[in-house]
Structure 1
Amino acid sequence: MAIFSKADLKELMEVREDICISIYLPTHRGGAETRQDPIRLKNLTTQAASELSNAGLETDTIERILAPAKALLERNQFWQHQDSGLALFLTDEQFYTYRLPLDFDEMVVVARRFHIKPLLPLLMNNGQYYILAVSQNQTRLFQATQHSIHSLELDELPSSLAEALRYDDPEKQLQYHSGNPGDGSPVYHGQGVGTTDDKTDILRFLRTVDEGLQPLLHNSQAPLVFVGVDYLFPIYQEANSYNFLLEDAVATNPDNLSAQEIHQQTWPVVETYFAKAQRDAEAKYQNRIETNQTISELRDVLVAAHDGQIETLFVPLGEQIWGRFDAEQRQITRESASTADNDDLLNLAAIYTLFCDGQVFAIAPEQVPDQGSAAASLRFPLPREMTTA
């Protein structure tokens, strides 16, 4: 399963058409509950069709735009290989589908841009993370969120120390006991690094692991948690080239742990990291209030986001404010409901901020600073006359 990346988000944000349809729904990984998922999608495509009809589109045009989404209804195998949530994005000529580790609320948005705000927790400091579970016998990689975990397969990742060194030093005889006579795989024993040669072999192995992760991690900023016996982690830190490897590891032998057990042991480590990033951003916001370097009025937030002035934006998940933003007049008009001619102004603020390399925290509504509909820390103070009185 492909990993949703910042490049994917950027591609979605760059789309601007007369009709952009965003569909979100929760899904199930297996069992009888999977039968509910295509029914949900069918109902959501019906809702989308109704909104497109209200926007004045002809029936033939509506059917053409929604055809890729409706085709999924008949693909039984598609529904047997889901994650926690499904996101679909359609225009008259484009169709994107993502199976994602987030439990989305059901939603249809028809607008002039894709509605990307529900995706932000995957990439913006409180969503997904990676787990590297390593012993000399086995290497496993996982993608996880607070509520889910699944295994990732990378061809470049060596499965064990023996595989990594097989062609590195063919004359060297590695000592091992076979754990499965019919399998022939070496199983290493011992509590630490006994000799210089041992550490050299392990370091070469872990450098090969680090290199194997690069195709996945080279554009990522998601934290990586190391799981392995305590003597391996310092050696992996020496081999590592990924900037977001966490300093705290889970010191245990992962060989006999299930994915769920690994998830239970790693989430507290990552939760601490995520919470600190948000606390630091909130503290910076509070420290800048007296210097006129914060804003919490929606109109001010949109103007600053459009102008590239926002360093950190806080927006509430699960809430939308429909309306229009006139960048030339620097004004907003709020509207009571979503239409094909307006936007979720919170979604628009997030897009503007991300395009200008700002940071976005999509968080619970009660966590937004100053109890506003949105709030932002600015890169530099604004003159008083530029903000809402």
Structure 2
Amino acid sequence: MSTTINDISPSRLTPEDLKTLAETSENPCVSILMPTHRSGPETRQNAIRFKNLLGEAKQKLEDAGHDCSILEPLESLSTNFDFWQHQKEGLAIFLTSDQRRVFLVDRTVPASVSVADEFFVLPLLRSGEDAERPLVLSLTWDSANLYRFDGESLESMPTEMLPAKFHDLVLPRDPEENLQNTSHRSHGNAGATSTAMFHGHGEGEDKIEADRRQYLSIVGDQVAGAVYDSGSPLALVATTEVAGHFEAATDVRVDAKIEGSSSQWSDEELRERVCQTLSIDHKAVEQDTAERFAAAIAQGSGSDDVSEITAAAANRRVDSVMVCVDNLEAAELNSIVVDTLRHGGSAFRCAAEKMPGNATVAAIFRY
């Protein structure tokens, strides 16, 4: 989620955040976007660029007759060394009179300042926003975490019992007591039941093996419910050993595997490995989506005419809209995207060579 700038602890933008930004309508809405350097001496350029953009925002506010005090919470950032040492590829800041939100972006965004009655979200659109986003299960013998992958970042996807440590799911117990005592919890819409179970009988390796089977079975139940509810494919991040035991202990279908133990990686390393493995599939989905738009336009249930799409978006008629990456600074296209997201549609960017008929924007209508 987002955070106030006073906390100076920005986080990654999620699709839910993007929709919330699109739903904001206030005058003024100030949007400041900029590319950033992750590390090294170049990080000093971050503060300089930000200071310049802040000056541009002040000028635009003055020109529009607005009070520039809305920018005061940002002024200390230009001299905050620690803040600029912890960046990604881009930074996005959004302000209204009573709202201040800051996000890290995993790709470069153009430096821009907007003062309008809506936030400028166009450069933040992700590729294939309406495509299936696979689930990613990060699994070790010590812990299990489930994420949703949108092509660029991982978003935690909690279930009733995940994320969890091994001993959250397989409970220590006096061996004299009955191992059949269980704690039942239901999940999802799959109608299955997951169980926090006690350590089984036996000694040494037999006991460890029994506990691990119980652990994997419970994780499998949780993941199966999430897959059932979402219809998404599943990628498994695990060592060969853990992956083999998981598939043997459950009926969960694994569509892709990422070899390794996430316990030895940072969050960023995990994200990068997932991106490397799943990016090819994501690009293929993007191509399929472009073809779907072209078919809708040919059949009259879509359009690539900017004026027609603008009117349709304002009238809640756009189901999904695709914008060319070469046109991510156009205010008119931003309004199309904002109206589409406000009314429950989806919006995403696409490479110029995959746009139907080399169009600037394409849309599929609801009716």
Q: Same fold (TM over 0.5)?
A: yes
Percent of aligned pairs with the same amino acid: 25
Do the aligned partners of 2:321 and 2:364 also contact (CA within 8 Å) in 1? yes
Structure 2 stretches lacking a partner, 5+ long: 1-9, 173-195
In structure 2, the CA distance between the partners of 1:366 and 1:112, relative to structure 1 (3 Å rule), is: farther
Do the aligned partners of 1:123 and 1:221 also contact (CA within 8 Å) in 2? no
Letter in 2 for 1:202: L
Q: Partners in 1 of 2:153 and 2:44 — Cα distance?
A: 20
Q: Deviations over 1:337-387 (max 9, x none)?
A: xxxxxxx1101111122223222221233432122221112234xxxxxxx
TM-superposed deviation, 1:221: 10
Q: Partners in 2 of 1:287 and 1:118 — Cα distance?
A: 26
User: When the two structures are aligned, how many residues end up with a matched partner?
Assistant: 328
- Tell me which moved more, 370-379 or 269-278: 269-278
What SS is found at the alignment partner of 2:360?
coil
In the other structure, the counterpart of 2:101 is 96
Letter in 2 for 1:72: L
TM-superposed deviation, 1:114: 0.3
Aligned counterparts, 1:114-263, within 5 A = 114-121=119-126, 124=129, 131-139=136-144, 157-159=163-165, 161-167=166-172, 168-170=196-198, 172=200, 199-207=213-221, 225-228=235-238, 229=240, 230-232=243-245, 234=247, 238=251, 247-250=254-257, 252-254=259-261, 258=265
TM-superposed deviation, 1:141: 6.8
In the other structure, the counterpart of 2:275 is 267
- Tell me which moved more, 272-281 or 140-149: 140-149
In structure 2, the CA distance between the partners of 1:92 and 1:351, relative to structure 1 (3 Å rule), is: same
Q: Deviations over 1:244-263 (max 9, x none)?
A: xx952215342686457755
Do the aligned partners of 1:125 and 1:274 also contact (CA within 8 Å) in 2? no
Determine whether 1:79 maps to 2:84: yes
Determine whether 1:374 maps to 2:338: no
Structure 1 stretches lacking a partner, 5+ long: 178-185, 189-193, 240-245, 323-343, 381-389
RMSD: 4.1
Q: Partners in 1 of 2:90 and 2:132 — Cα distance?
A: 13
Question: Which of 22, 42, 46 is the aligned partner of 1:13?
Answer: 22
TM-superposed deviation, 1:133: 2.5
In structure 2, the CA distance between the partners of 1:238 and 1:86, relative to structure 1 (3 Å rule), is: farther
In structure 2, the CA distance between the partners of 1:55 and 1:231, relative to structure 1 (3 Å rule), is: same
What SS is found at the alignment partner of 1:102?
coil
Q: Deviations over 1:181-223 (max 9, x none)?
A: xxxxx9x7xxxxx77x753442124556889xx8xx9x99997
Letter in 2 for 1:80: Q
Q: Partners in 2 of 1:101 and 1:222 — Cα distance?
A: 23
In the other structure, the counterpart of 1:364 is 351
Do the aligned partners of 1:117 and 1:350 also contact (CA within 8 Å) in 2? yes
Letter in 2 for 1:204: I
Aligned counterparts, 1:45-84, within 5 A = 45-57=54-66, 61-62=67-68, 64-84=69-89
Determine whether 1:280 maps to 2:294: no
Q: Deviations over 1:302-348 (max 9, x none)?
A: 112222222331112352575xxxxxxxxxxxxxxxxxxxxx11011
Q: Partners in 1 of 2:55 and 2:231 — Cα distance?
A: 37
What SS is found at the alignment partner of 1:17?
strand
In structure 2, the CA distance between the partners of 1:71 and 1:277, relative to structure 1 (3 Å rule), is: same
TM-superposed deviation, 1:267: 2.8
In structure 2, the CA distance between the partners of 1:25 and 1:112, relative to structure 1 (3 Å rule), is: same
Letter in 1 for 2:255: D
Q: Partners in 2 of 1:261 and 1:305 — Cα distance?
A: 39
In the other structure, the counterpart of 1:180 is none
Question: Which of 297, 303, 313 is the aligned partner of 2:305?
Answer: 297
Do the aligned partners of 2:135 and 2:146 also contact (CA within 8 Å) in 1? yes
Q: Partners in 1 of 2:261 and 2:280 — Cα distance?
A: 21
In structure 2, the CA distance between the partners of 1:32 and 1:166, relative to structure 1 (3 Å rule), is: farther
Q: Deviations over 1:250-282 (max 9, x none)?
A: 153426864577556533542233223322322
In structure 2, the CA distance between the partners of 1:201 and 1:305, relative to structure 1 (3 Å rule), is: same
Q: Deviations over 1:129-168 (max 9, x none)?
A: 7743212245467787877889999996223x34531354
Do the aligned partners of 1:122 and 1:128 also contact (CA within 8 Å) in 2? no
TM-superposed deviation, 1:128: 8.7
Q: Partners in 2 of 1:236 and 1:25 — Cα distance?
A: 48
In structure 2, the CA distance between the partners of 1:79 and 1:262, relative to structure 1 (3 Å rule), is: closer
Do the aligned partners of 1:27 and 1:103 also contact (CA within 8 Å) in 2? yes
In structure 2, the CA distance between the partners of 1:223 and 1:74, relative to structure 1 (3 Å rule), is: farther
In structure 2, the CA distance between the partners of 1:91 and 1:237, relative to structure 1 (3 Å rule), is: farther
Q: TM-score, length-normalised on structure 1? A: 0.69
In the other structure, the counterpart of 1:348 is 335
In the other structure, the counterpart of 2:320 is 312
Q: Partners in 1 of 2:24 and 2:269 — Cα distance?
A: 40
Do the aligned partners of 2:258 and 2:274 also contact (CA within 8 Å) in 1? no
